[in-house]
Amino acid sequence: MQYHSTRDSRVTVTAARAITMGISSEGGLFVPEYFPKLSLDEIVALQKASYAERATAVLAKYLTDFTTEEISSCAEAAYSRQHFRARQPAPLRRLDANAFLLELWHGPTCAFKDMALQILPHLMRLSAAKTANGKEIVILVATSGDTGKAALEGFKDAPHTRILVFYPENGVSPMQKRQMVTQEGRNVGVCAIRGNFDDAQTGVKKIFADREIQDELAAHNMMFSSANSINWGRLVPQIVYYVSAYCDLLSNGVIRAGDPINVAVPTGNFGNILAAFYALKMGLPIKTLICASNRNCVLTDFFQTGTYDCNREFYTTSSPSMDILISSNLERLLYELSGRDDWGIGKLMHSLASTGKYTVSPAIKESLDEYFVGGTCDEKQTMATIREVYDTQKILCDTHTAVAVSVYRDYRAQTGDATPTVIASTANPYKFASGVLRALRVDDAGLDEFEKTERLEAVTGETIPAPLAGLRSKSPRFTQVCDIGSMRSTVLSTLGIGR
Ligand SMILES: *Cc1c(COP(=O)(O)O)cnc(C)c1O
């Protein structure tokens, strides 16, 4: 299987090359040349398989320049009990008669990014060995909070790899910040920027497209790659947990083979829900994809009107990992839905860069309507949902998961659609303790981040995850803050190669 760029279909690379490069040189994203099929028989057979075995089965269909043994060793290393503290890496928990939470936060950083970022370093090491001729890989990350920590944790002390993370100074939760600035490892760097996530992401993409800095790296036997969901190696492991959830619903007798399910996802950069769409394209019986946004509802408006318009106010909310106006992975979806019209996609993305908006063709809009519905949940509804779910079910949702639960419930009420629904639960509630305490109407005035987690534990009896509790005794290592305009020089000076 080969990979093409969304902005130039003539670009053709192997999976290993797509993973080491991260993004195509003309700015497009790598996409598989076709969607391999997963038959119902295969899905049924995977019921008895472990998560690592399910991952191997799915990944082997895409990473055809890797041997099955290679993929299996990556998956077994990534999805072990050492890294995921639950009975399996992505367990389902019943929310109500029709809906199930797919808990994706049992990994080392307590957010769903671990599902991909625990395996990506292994895939990156093999990919580099196949294609990078001994170059040192420099991973640049822009984060709205969770990717940064998960990438640092995944890549820390990985051989022949350096990693540098940029996060918005005032755009991440105190716990997220604490997780990043205390990161251990010899090959890691973390820098705050004066700007929001979109600024960080745009800055990183600019550096990837900068020939001069690439030459500078090449002269030092280094090359850039990405651990954001623009990297194919980040996306493909995310397909696995939707397949895994379907297998578990089969095992539990909730559905029979071939029955449709719906999937609801709290969305930011559109990576997680895109992986569900890819699972659907492979043949997983998914009927409707419910795209949930917080107050930054650019996607909801897009699904309604066909116009993507980020000329609007940016809000900082209690679900910071969804505070995004430019959802990068939408480009991959539009590429598929336009019949792989690379030229057309290039035009839309050019329009986005120059005017901040674009409108898709009626044909694409029709196709969107076939698969997706969008919905929004404001701060008040987020809080009410956390409280209501806790009061009635004794399930503690984080602020992001609550957005998806709320939008799912609206959808259910409006349509009456009783299809079993998998709701992506994307973070452990302790990662966003202030928001959750506020929702439960517990006074947390004057408490620091750790005292808040203790208060939450005292109120709910749910244990604080060890990786978060352990942060308290660690002192900050990274205090640097830079302007958006100096991200480039920060990269060079961190690598010790600039003039
Ligand atoms: C990253 C993240 C999201 C958004 O996921 P995308 O793939 O960017 O759409 C939602 N919730 C949490 C907790 C996250 O960390």
Which of 291, 329, 400 is the best mutation target for the ligand 1 pocket, counting ligand atoms within 8 Å of the beta carbon and taking the most?
400
pLDDT of residue 369: 98
Nearest to 22 by CA among 227, 215, 167: 227
Can you tell me the distance from the alpha carbon of 135 to that of 155, in angstroms, rounded to the nearest whole number? 16
pLDDT of residue 12: 97
pLDDT of residue 145: 82
Cβ of residue 107 lying under 6 Å from some atom of ligand 1: no
CA atoms within 13 A on the CB side of 410: 20
366 CA from centroid of ligand 1 (Å)? 26
Cβ of residue 268 lying under 6 Å from some atom of ligand 1: yes
pLDDT of residue 122: 96
269 CA from centroid of ligand 1 (Å)? 7
Segments in the chain below pLDDT 70: 499
Per DSSP, the three-state class of 69 is helix
CA dihedral for 199, 200, 205, 209, sign (positive or negative): positive
Residue recorded with tokens 């408006």: 301
Tokens of 237: 């492991």
pLDDT of residue 322: 94
426 CA from centroid of ligand 1 (Å)? 7
Q: Which ligand 1 atom lies nearest to the CA of residue 400?
A: 11
pLDDT tens, position by position, 258-290? 999 999 999 999 999 999 999 999 999 999 999
- The answer for residues whose C-beta is within 8 angstroms of residue 489's C-beta and 6 or more apart is 498
428 phi and psi angles, rounded to 5 deg: -70, 135
pLDDT of residue 134: 86
pLDDT of residue 499: 61
| Residue of the CA atom closest to atom 14 of ligand 1 | 321
pLDDT of residue 217: 95
Cβ count within 10 A of residue 211 = 8
| Element of type H or E holding 357 | strand 357-359
